[in-house]
Amino acid sequence: MIDISETEDFDNGVAYDPFDTAPVRLTVDLGALSENWRDMARRSGGARTAAVVKADAYGLGLEDCGTALYEAGARDFFVAVPQEGATLRTYAPDARIYVLSGIWPGQEDFFFDHDLVPVLASEEQLAFWMSVIADRDDHPCALHVDTGFNRLGLPLEDALALADDVSRPASFSPVLVMSHLHSGDNPSSPLSRVQLEAFQQIAEAFEGIEASLSASAGIFLGSEYHFDLTRPGIAVYGGEAVNGMQPLKPVAKAEARIVQIREAAAGSTVSYGATHQLSRNSRLAVVSAGYADGYLRSLSGSGVPLRAGGTSGAFGFVGNTRVPVLGRVTMDMVIFDITDVPEGDVRVGDYIELFGPNIPLDEAARAGGTIGYELLTSLGLRHERRYIDAND
C-alpha cells in the first residue's frame, strides 16, 4: 500500500499532507474492497472466486487494490491487457493472471516472461496460439466461447468441434473455458438461462477443464451459474451489480474543494450558456472539479442535450446536506447550490463529496445518464489519492 508522504513547507518548517489541500481527492477504502470480495466469495459457494482488476482496478489503482485483493485471498485475477498483467504480477507473485484481450503476434515473450494466461477469443487467436506452443514449451491458456453476447468468443459450434478434435496438439492445454452473460444485471431476463444452457454444453464438452460463466451479476443468479470459478468486478468496488439491488460496501469517495462561495441574486444565471436562472437569492459553492477529473459534463444541472428528458442533474454532499449542481459542469469547475446549508456548516476550503457514502456511486452515475463503471474508470489523474485499510 502506498503511504501519503508529508511534504515540508520550507517557509515555516511545518509539514503538511498534500491530501488535505488537494483540489480533488479520492479516498479508497481497501478494507471495504477486501470485505466486498470476501462477500462475493461467500456468495459463490463452492466455486473459487477471482478478482477482476482491469482498467487500473476500475480506476481505483491496480497496485493498491491488487495487493489488497491478493492479501484477502484472491489467487485468480482478470486484466484487460498484458501490460496490466505484468504490473499485477509484482504484487501477486503466485496468482494466475488471465488477459481478456488474448494474445497477438509479437507478444509471446511478454506473456511467457510474466507468466500470463491469454484468453483466446477468436479463430485467429486460436490459430496463432497453436503455432506458438508448437515451437515452445506448454503454457496455459483459456478459451472464451460466445453464448449469445456477440462480442468476444469462439462460436459455440466451433468450440464444441474443438473439444472433439482428436488432432489438436497435445501441448494445447486450456485451464479454463469461459463465457459472459449479457443480461445478468436483469434477474427477470430469460436470456441468462438460454446462455446458461449453451454454456453447460461447453462445460460438459471440455470435461476436466474448469469453467467460468459469472461475473458480479451472475453470482447473484444462483449456484447453477457459478461453475468452478466466478469473476466479480463492479460489486467488489462498491457498485451496483444487479438493477435495483443494494450494492455492497462503498469503496471510493471522491471530493472536490470549495474555492469560492459567492452570493447570487434571484434572476441571475449560472455557468456557461446561462442555462440555469436562479429563482431565489442564493449562495453558490464553486468547487475545483470538472470533466477533466471524470466528473462528467452530463452531470450538469442543465443545458446538456444528450441527457434531454432525463434527470435534473447530480447532487453533492456538504454540511450534512445534499446540494444540487447548478448549470453546466465545466472542464475544471462545477457550481453547487449551498443555499440550504447553514452558513456555519460550510466555508471556503471545505470539501464537497461528489460520490461516496452519502452520494452513492450509481446515483451519481445515473444523474449523468451513465453507470457506475464509467464514473469510476473516468477518474482523472489530478485526484490526490489516499488508501486506507481495515486497520486505519
Backbone phi and psi for residue 24, each to the nearest 5 degrees, phi listed first: -130, 145
Backbone phi and psi for residue 273, each to the nearest 5 degrees, phi listed first: 75, 0
Q: Which 3-state string (H, E, C) describes 225-255? A: HCCCEEECCCCCCCCCCCCCCCCCCCCEEEE
d(CA 351, CA 256): 5
On whether 151 is known to bind a ligand per the annotation, the reply is yes
d(CA 346, CA 284): 11
Q: What are 10's three cell numbers? A: 520550507
On whether 178 is known to bind a ligand per the annotation, the reply is no
Q: What are 145's three cell numbers? A: 466461447
d(CA 189, CA 108): 40
Which residue among 16, 58, 272, 291 is the active-site one? Answer: 272
Which residue among 54, 225, 295, 387 is the active-site one? Answer: 54
Q: Which residues of 201-227 are buried (b: 16+ CB within 10 A; e: fewer)?
A: ebbebbeebbbbbbbbbbbbbeeebbb
Whether residue 272 lies in the annotated active site: yes
d(CA 163, CA 176): 13
Whether residue 253 lies in the annotated active site: no
d(CA 215, CA 225): 10
Q: Which residues are catalytic?
A: 54, 272
Feature table: binding site for substrate: 151, 331
